Amino acid sequence: MSHLKQTHYAPLTEAVAIELALSLNFFTENAVLSCKEIGDGNLNLVFHIVDEQGSKGLIIKQALPYAKVVGESWPLTLKRAKIEADALKTFGQLAPDYVPTIYFTDDVLAVTVMEDLSHLLIARTGFINGETYPLISKHLGEYLAKTLFYTSDYGLGPSAKKEQVQMFINPELCKITEDLIFTDPYFDADTNYFEDGLLSDVEALWQDDELRFQVNLLKRSFLTEAEVLLHGDLHTGSVFASNSETKVIDPEFAFYGPAGFDIGQVFANLLFQVIVNTKNQERFVHHIETVWNVFKDEFTHLWNTENKEILAKTDKFLSYTLAKFFEDSLGFAGCELIRRTIGLAHVTDLDSIEDEKTRLAAKRKTLELGKILIKQRKEIINCAAFISKVKEVL
């Protein structure tokens, strides 16, 4: 699609979003278009444009110069739109079945024009409504194996990988994660919020020196280990799903970091359903096992067939690498469980539980499981041991 490059940034209105869509020739010239801003995330505007006569739709996502959830008092770089668009293009080449098609980007306007996925539902919403999406864990396991292997030194080669590390330097968005996931939940920070009834549980967590030490180790890994290109915010609100399709959106937090971070966020966000969705508990346990088993098998296949590091292509080094990813993913999952319970950005899985007693009981479980995964991750040596720990807490 072609379009005149913009010279200055301005937030789009619905009318201007329609003009932009028409100028891209995505719709026919005389199409009657309607547009609605549908963004429900913490950071950006999302415009949904549809052809009233046809069935075609288009999505225009635009970054705001601040974090939408807080307002203009929290300025945020517009460069994140380019990072997100570049990450969608990169992941789209590596795992095309699981990423929306990108039609157009403009770095000045901070917009990404992409495939309309409205025929699918955000997985978190679907889960809360009782869906279980039988293929989602197989799809996410494949997505993780392909994106994490092909962006690593082993899949890409060290020189090309260093170019990519440079392209995806993302300090402002990383700082959000460093603060909200690895720092603020572990002291009495202004960004935290939780029910009064959780105060004694949270105070116990703040006084847990061993927990803080282990979180420091995980934070150091996040700060320093440029293993793979991460999505960086792979929760179930970043996944569209149906019973047959899965698409991963919203990688504006993408950067080179430890592989276990993306895997751990997937584990944690499935664990919320294991904890709250008593009716479908076993299905979500099975999803967690499937994510790991599919990831491990596909990663092993790619390691053995596409490895660019001749000396690394041994069973011993592969086992070491997978064991490290698994251990890290448990620790990062623990951090995600804790921060989504008491930190700035909660999850609807927990907050939508109307009965306070039931909600607090669920939140105590996420805090308890989070602490165990962080502190005992070295001893939980395989998926079976992981599931046993989860069941102990339930």
Ligand X SMILES: Nc1ncnc2c1ncn2[C@@H]1O[C@H](COP(=O)(O)OP(=O)(O)O)[C@@H](O)[C@H]1O
Ligand Y SMILES: CSC[C@H]1O[C@H](OP(=O)(O)O)[C@H](O)[C@@H]1O
- 339 labelled ligand-binding: yes
**Within a 10 A sphere around the Cβ of 71, how many other Cβ atoms?**
9
List the single partner that 296 binds among ligand X, ligand Y, none, CB under 5 to 8 Å by kind.
none
- 40 labelled ligand-binding: no
- 359 labelled ligand-binding: no
Tell me whether residue 66 or residue 206 sits nearer to ligand Y (CB atom).
66
List the single partner that 167 binds among ligand Y, ligand X, none, CB under 5 to 8 Å by kind.
none
List the single partner that 176 binds among ligand Y, ligand X, none, CB under 5 to 8 Å by kind.
ligand Y
Sign of the four-CA dihedral 350, 351, 354, 357: positive
Q: How far is the CB of 152 from ligand Y (least distance, A)?
A: 24
List the single partner that 38 binds among ligand X, ligand Y, none, CB under 5 to 8 Å by kind.
ligand X
What is the Cα Rg of the chain in Å?
21
Under the binding rule (CB under 6 A), the answer on residue 118 touching ligand X is yes
Binding residue (CB under 6 A) for ligand X from 116, 179, 195, 368: 116
Q: Judge whether 37 and 46 are in contact, CB under 8 Å.
A: yes
Binding residue (CB under 6 A) for ligand X from 123, 249, 344, 362: 249
String marking each residue 292-331 x if it binds ligand X according to CB under 6 A? ----------------------------------------
Under the binding rule (CB under 6 A), the answer on residue 177 touching ligand X is no
Both tokens of 198, joined, read: 């959780």
- The binding site for ligand Y (CB under 6 A) comprises 41-43, 67, 69, 176, 180, 233, 237-238, 250, 344-345
- 377 labelled ligand-binding: no
- 252 labelled ligand-binding: yes
- 124 labelled ligand-binding: no
Using Cβ positions, the residue closest to ligand X within the complex turns out to be 41
Phi/psi region, residue 211 (left: phi>0; alpha: psi -120 to 50; beta: rest), is alpha
**Within a 10 A sphere around the Cβ of 105, how many other Cβ atoms?**
20
Q: Which of the ranges 18-26, 111-119, 313-321, 323-331 carries the binding residues for ligand X, by CB under 6 A?
A: 111-119
Q: Which amino acid is at 64?
A: L
Tell me whether residue 18 or residue 176 sits nearer to ligand Y (CB atom).
176
- 190 labelled ligand-binding: no
- 43 labelled ligand-binding: no
**Among 130, 52, 59, which Cα is nearest to 88's?**
59
List the single partner that 118 binds among ligand Y, ligand X, none, CB under 5 to 8 Å by kind.
ligand X
Binding-site sequence positions: 44, 61, 115-117, 233, 250-252, 339
Binding-site sequence positions for ATP: 44, 61, 115-117, 250-252
Site for ligand X, rule CB under 6 A: 38-44, 46, 59, 61, 100, 114-118, 122, 238, 249-250, 252
